Chain A
Amino acid sequence: GAVVSQHPSWVICKSGTSVKIECRSLDFQATTMFWYRQFPKQSLMLMATSNEGSKATYEQGVEKDKFLINHASLTLSTLTVTSAHPEDSSFYICSANPLGGNNSYEQYFGPGTRLTVT
C-alpha cells in the first residue's frame, strides 16, 4: 500500500529556533499534501494545503509567515516552524493524495512528528 513518511518522528527545540519537518510519499507521487496539527486529546486541525509547484493555501488563523511550507517535488513537502514557542508544541501530521489514484478519496497519513519547544 501507499506509504507516507515523516522526519523527524520527534524533535525537541529551544524557544526562538526554527524546526523543519519533512513529509515524503515513498511509493507514489502527490501534487497535494496536507498538514495537520493535533494538540493533546483534541482532533486534527487542518493547517494548510501544500501544492506542488505553487504556494500553499493556509486555513484561517494559521500564520503563513510562521509555518512555512515548501512542496518542491511530487514526493516531498516540508513544514518549517519558524521562531518556535512552547505553544507550538504539538503533534504535526501530514497526508497525501496519490496522483492518478484509483480512488478519489484516498488520502494517506504520515506517522506524525511530535514537536516539543522548551
Chain B
Amino acid sequence: GQNIDQPTEMTATEGAIVQINCTYQTSGFNGLFWYQQHAGEAPTFLSYNVLDGLEEKGRFSSFLSRSKGYSYLLLKELQMKDSASYLCAEKNRDDKIIFGKGTRLHILP
C-alpha cells in the first residue's frame, strides 16, 4: 500500500503563512491531492498536482516533486476559518485515492 506521511498537528498565527509537508510512496503514483476537512464534514477539494512544480490558487498553493515523493500545501494570509484538517492524498494507478492521516491546523488570533 501507499505510505503517506504528514505532520499530525500544526499551529500558526492569523495573517501568517504555513506550509504543510507530505511525503508519499512513489511507485504507482498517478496524482497528488490536497483536501480541507472541517470537523464532522466531508472533505473539500483544494488542489491536484500531477506534474512537478507549484500550482497557485488564491491564498493556497501546492507543490509537487515526483522524484522526491514530496508535496507541500502553502497557505498564505491565514484566517481563523482556515482552522481545519488538511489531507494529503495520492491517486494510484488503479485511480483510487488513498488518504494520509491528515494535519490538524490550529490558527491562533
Contact = CB atoms under 8 A, between A and B. Distances in A.
B48 interface: yes
A92 B36 CA distance: 17
Contacts of A95: 97
B18 to A, nearest CB: 19
Contacts, number: 44
Given A32-B95, A34-B97, A44-B87, 13 more contacts: A34-B96, A36-B99, A44-B99, A45-B99, A46-B96, A46-B98, A91-B40, A97-B95, A105-B48, A105-B91, A109-B43, A112-B40, A114-B40
Interface in B59-88: 87
Contact of A111 (B33, B41, B98, B99): B41
A93 B42 CA distance: 7
Count class of interface residues, chain A: 20 to 34
Interface of A: 32, 34, 36, 41-46, 49, 91, 93, 95, 97, 103, 105, 107, 109-112, 114
A34 to B, nearest CB: 7
Interface residues of B, number: 21
Among B42, B98, B102, the most chain A Cβ lie within 10 Å of the Cβ of B42
B50 interface: yes
- Mostly, the A contact residues are strand
A105 to B, nearest CB: 5
A112 B41 contact: yes
B57 to A, nearest CB: 14
B43 A44 contact: yes
Contacts of B98: 46
A43 B87 contact: yes
A36 B40 CA distance: 14
B100 A43 contact: yes
Contacts of A49: 96
B96 to A, nearest CB: 6
Contacts of B100: 43
